[in-house]
Amino acid sequence: MISENPVCLAITQILNDTDESISLYQLMKAIEDKGLDISGDDVTISTELKLFRFNFVVMNALYQIQQDIKGTGFSLYISSLKILLYSDVPPNTGLAPAEIDESKRVDESMSKYYLDWNNYDSANQQSIDQLLNSFWSKYKKYNKYDSNQDQRSCALQILGVESSASWKDIQQTYRQKITQCHPDKGGTCHQFIEIREAFQFLKLFQ
């Protein structure tokens, strides 16, 4: 069983830093600007294949997030020119109904492809795990998570749980918080992303 794609957390943080939509190119550039290489360490492969792998891992993370937030009152719009977290409750942050309908149709086939790791250059279980573990090591080093407990303390504070809370307690509190920030109850995308980011951070370190 492949562990959750750690790029989900990086993307959540990037979305939290912008008030507008972001293109796939801008998203990949933002990940690169963090010094996070997710194309793998094989120097024998071509630039084109590295770019494919980079794109695949990012798209896999986007569709993981999209599926994971279903039923929360928010949706993730995914296209090469526009990636946007928006409220299911009107107004939809400038997205036309035709855009949303078309994206849902495309998402059915695209998500099926990108969520299947067998399509990652026909990679096997071991090579995928190595790729994600390598990225996660670089990600922790970049953010200094190993030596800095402030991130964990901040995540716990956002969710409103004690440092001694069990993973079960964290999950339960997260579900309550997500329900509270539903757009029907006045929740905003930034509130939603902040709670998601805190939960994803704690999930990857639990």
Per-residue model confidence as pLDDT tens digits over 65-121? 999 999 999 999 998 888 999 888 876 667 777 777 878 787 888 899 899 888 887
Q: Are 58 and 48 in contact (CB under 8 A)?
A: no
The overall average pLDDT reported for the chain is: 82
Q: Which position has the higher pLDDT, 174 or 108?
A: 174
pLDDT computed for residue 120 by the predictor: 81
Band of pLDDT at residue 1, cut at 50, 70 and 90: very low
Q: Is residue 127 part of a domain?
A: yes
199 within domain boundaries:
no
Higher pLDDT, 39 or 23: 23
Q: Rounded distance, CA 190 to CA 195, Å?
A: 9
- pLDDT band for 176, please (50, 70, 90 cuts): very high
Write the CA distances from 91 to 84, 86, 97, 185, 195, integer angstroms.
14, 9, 10, 14, 22
Q: Domain of 73? A: 7-145
Out of 38-42, 60-64, 174-178, least confident range: 38-42
What pLDDT score was predicted for residue 124?
64
Distance of CA 46 to CAs 41, 51, 57, 127, Å? 12, 9, 17, 17
Using CA atoms, how far residue 151 sits from 43, 148, 166, 198, in Å, is: 34, 7, 17, 9
Least confident of 21-25, 40-44, 126-130, 182-186: 40-44
What's the total number of domains in the chain? 1
pLDDT of 17 > 70? The answer is yes
Is 158 a residue whose pLDDT tops 70? yes
Question: Which comes out higher in pLDDT, residue 91 or 193?
Answer: 193
pLDDT top residue among 66 and 39: 66
**Residue 40 pLDDT class (50, 70, 90 cuts):** low
Residue 15 lies in a domain: yes
**Residue 134 forms part of a structural domain:** yes
Tell me: pLDDT of 172 over 90: yes
Establish if 104 belongs to a structural domain.
yes
Give residue 143's pLDDT.
60
Does residue 153 lie within any of the structural domains? no
In a domain, 203, yes or no: no
